[in-house]
Amino acid sequence: MRALPYLLIVWITMSAAAPAAAQRFAGNAPVCLQRWQWGGSSYISCQYGSWDECRASAAGLSAMCLLNPYAQQPSRPDRSPRPR
């Protein structure tokens, strides 16, 4: 019965030892590179101005390019039919 408080303290200490890190999308560049590392972890770097620039950096790595969801995207032209 005496060991129960000590075990509770050890359990709380071990479970709170490693806080979880949130994934961050840093930068306002429109293209991001997501790269996986050994052990299953990954990181995202949003510093690329074009898809070609990102693909050149990702070549030969376990990585992929993706659109930055937080960057201001250029507006698309209106494709509504025009009257003739």
**pLDDT at residue 24, as a whole number:** 58
2, amino acid identity: R
Mean pLDDT of 43-57: 92
Torsion of CA 24, 29, 32, 38, to 10 degrees: -60
The helix (H) or strand (E) run that includes residue 45 is: strand 42-48
Mean pLDDT of 49-70: 92
pLDDT digits (tens, 9 = 90+) for 1-28: 677 877 777 777 767 655 555 555 556 7
Helix (H, G, I), strand (E, B) or coil at 13: helix
Q: Is the pTM of this model over 0.75?
A: no
Residue among 53, 48, 52 nearest 31 (CA): 48
Please tell me which of 9-13, 39-43, 76-80 the model is most confident about, judged by mean pLDDT. Answer: 39-43
